[in-house]
Amino acid sequence: MPKSPTAPFQFTSDDVRIESQETVFEGFFRMGRLRLSHARFAGGYTETIQRELFLRGDATCVLPYDPARDEVVLLEQFRPGALWRDQSPWLLELVAGMDEPGESAEEVAHREGEEEAGLRFARLEPICRYLVSPGGTTEMVRLFCGLISSEGAGGLYGLEAENEDIRAHVLSLAEALAMLDDGRINNAAAIIALQWLSIHRERLREAWQ
């Protein structure tokens, strides 16, 4: 049966005509500039458009969860992107790191768990993967929930060579969800992972104990 003309995902990358691509800045981050046209829903192609793009690698994030204690570990650290907002620029976030060439997402998760929080994940449950802000950056995030024991967790972590200054906090899941509800936790990866855990909590507590 033929697809409806209004069905989603009928276009692919083959329906984009890239005329030019260049790097316009390269420092701690890299910015590129594209000139392109793309297929239109009503038929034909757009005129040539120019877009700047934040060329960032993929990342892996993990929500550490202890099902026996019903506790999570969240990391507090400074984020310059939160400056000039009506809030503290120190955010509560997940264990997270950029994927290195040749590394699997699971390898990144285990590496960052050790470096950022002194944690070892006994199991990793995939949550989802998502594009962070595809109108302006290439970054894709892979999310996991990680099985831990929160006994003795918490403290100060981070690699001095990377100027990391991290405090790991142990919170009850109820506390973390309350922070989500009142807006104190307001970064995308933590929001998605905590909402997912609130849905799957009972299943994980049965499966992981």
Backbone phi and psi for residue 3, each to the nearest 5 degrees, phi listed first: -70, 150
How far apart (Å, rounded) are the C-alpha atoms in residues 55 and 185?
26
- Please list, in sequence order, all residues whose beta carbon lies within 8 angstroms of the beta carbon of residue 170, skipping any fewer than 6 positions away: 71, 72, 73, 150, 153, 154
Closest to 92 measured CA to CA, from 24, 188, 25, 1: 188
Residue 164 is assigned to a ligand binding site: yes
Q: For residue 130, which amino acid is it? A: Y
Catalytic residue among 47, 160, 162, 202: 162
Query: Known binder of ligand: residue 19?
Result: no
Q: Is 103 annotated as a binding residue?
A: no
**Does 96 show up as a binding residue in the annotation?**
yes
151 is known as an active-site residue: no
Contact yes or no for 142/58 (Cβ under 8 A): yes
Residues annotated catalytic, as ranges: 162
Q: Which residues are annotated as a binding site for Mg(2+)?
A: 96, 112, 116, 164
Return binding residues: 96, 112, 116, 164
